[in-house]
């Protein structure tokens, strides 16, 4: 029996609809599987379990971090050196020309080279002489710049006055020292210089009221000091290697200071005692004065 045409159309439409529904279902299922698998893959890639075949003890160097870009420092302000004075520049040029011309004249002493050097040298000497003249005149008119007013003068008449005043001052100092100081005189009886020096030392000591303690290194005596003390080792302590030797000592404090070796004049004795006993000398040369051991 033949089908009705309407039923054939319906059947075809139903078949097409079923096919579309099945295709949509399959596509949805495939999408769900892709999402699930993709999510698991991302999870495994970020964990140990996603790379188990490499082993738990596998070591890889860490990925180096990108180097930090250096921060550019602001440019530093450079201080400009102060410009030299015109006179300094001219002097340096002149010195350079003089030195160069001298070297050339030494290595090649022709008439022209030597003459050029001598002319430059004369120019420099004239400038230095003019400077010295200006400085001298300023010294004459400014007392604080005149060095001839300090210490020993240079004028003959002033030197005589200076020596007189200095002698009075030194005599007063030695008179004060004579109250508690003595002179140690080390000598040998067979020393001709000791025989020459002994009368000078005795006259000086008598004039200023000083007591002389003579110490003989060989047991001999001198006419001025016929009864000297024997050396008990003090010469070794003071390193007396040459005679005559003169020292000034203060028995109360046990200190002793050398004045000199060899023959000394009265003026030398006067000056040296005045100088070595000043606080300035003791500050400059603290080891000059020694402490003697108690006997």
**d(C-alpha 82, C-alpha 85), whole Å:** 9
How far is it, in rounded angstroms, from Cα 22 to Cα 115?
Answer: 124
- How far apart are alpha carbons 291 and 234 in whole angstroms? 11
User: Which residues lie below 8 Å from residue 270, measured CB to CB, with a gap of 6+?
Assistant: 167, 170, 171, 174, 204
Q: Where are the domains of the chain?
A: 85-150, 157-291
Among 9-23, 220-234, 265-279, the least confident range: 9-23
Q: Give the pLDDT confidence of 180-190 residue by residue, as tens digits.
A: 899 999 999 99
DSSP-derived letter for residue 258 is E
Q: Report the alpha-carbon distance of residue 291 to residue 237 in Å, rounded.
A: 10
Q: Is the pLDDT of residue 113 over 80?
A: yes
157-291 carries CATH number 3.40.190.10: no
Distance separating alpha carbons of residues 242 and 245, to the nearest angstrom: 7
- 9-18, 24-33, 161-170, 266-275, range with the lowest pLDDT: 9-18
> pTM (2 decimals)?
0.51
- 3 state SS of 83: coil
Distances (CA, A) of 173 to 179, 200, 210, 224: 11, 20, 12, 25
Q: φ, ψ for residue 179 (rounded to 5)?
A: -70, -35
The answer to whether the CB of 226 falls within 8 A of the CB of 220 is no
Which are the contacts of 262, defined by CB distance < 8 A and separation ≥ 6?
A: 193, 197, 242, 244
| pLDDT tens sequence across 193-216 | 999 999 999 999 999 899 999 999
Outline where DSSP puts E strands in the chain: 182-187, 211-216, 229-230, 245-250, 255-261, 290-291
């Amino acid at each position: 029996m033949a089908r009705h045409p309407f039923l054939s159309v319906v059947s075809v439409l139903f078949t097409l609809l079923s096919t579309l529904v099945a295709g949509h279902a399959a596509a949805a299922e495939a999408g769900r599987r892709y999402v699930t698998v993709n999510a698991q893959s991302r999870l495994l890639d970020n964990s140990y379990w996603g790379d188990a075949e490499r082993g738990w003890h596998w070591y890889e160097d860490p990925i180096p971090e990108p180097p930090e870009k250096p921060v550019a420092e602001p440019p530093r302000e450079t201080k400009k050196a102060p410009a030299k004075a015109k006179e300094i520049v001219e002097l340096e040029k002149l010195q350079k020309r003089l030195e160069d011309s001298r070297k050339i004249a030494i290595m090649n002493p022709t008439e022209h080279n030597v003459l050029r050097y001598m002319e430059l040298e004369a120019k420099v000497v004239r400038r230095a002489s003019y400077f010295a003249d200006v400085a001298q005149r300023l010294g004459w008119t400014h007392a604080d710049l005149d060095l001839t007013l300090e210490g020993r003068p240079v004028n003959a008449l002033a030197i005589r006055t200076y020596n007189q005043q200095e002698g009075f001052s030194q005599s007063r100092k030695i008179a004060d020292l004579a109250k508690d100081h003595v002179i140690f005189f080390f000598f040998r009886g067979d020393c001709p210089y000791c025989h020459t020096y002994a009368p000078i030392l005795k006259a000086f000591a008598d004039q200023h009221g000083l007591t002389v303690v003579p110490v003989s290194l060989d047991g001999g005596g001198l006419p001025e000091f016929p009864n000297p003390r024997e050396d008990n080792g003090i010469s070794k302590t003071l390193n007396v290697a040459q005679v005559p030797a003169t020292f000034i000592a203060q028995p109360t404090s046990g200190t002793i200071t050398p004045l000199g070796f060899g023959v000394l004049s009265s003026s030398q004795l006067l000056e040296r005692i005045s100088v070595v006993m000043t606080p300035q000398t003791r500050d400059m040369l603290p080891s000059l004065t020694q402490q003697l051991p108690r006997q």
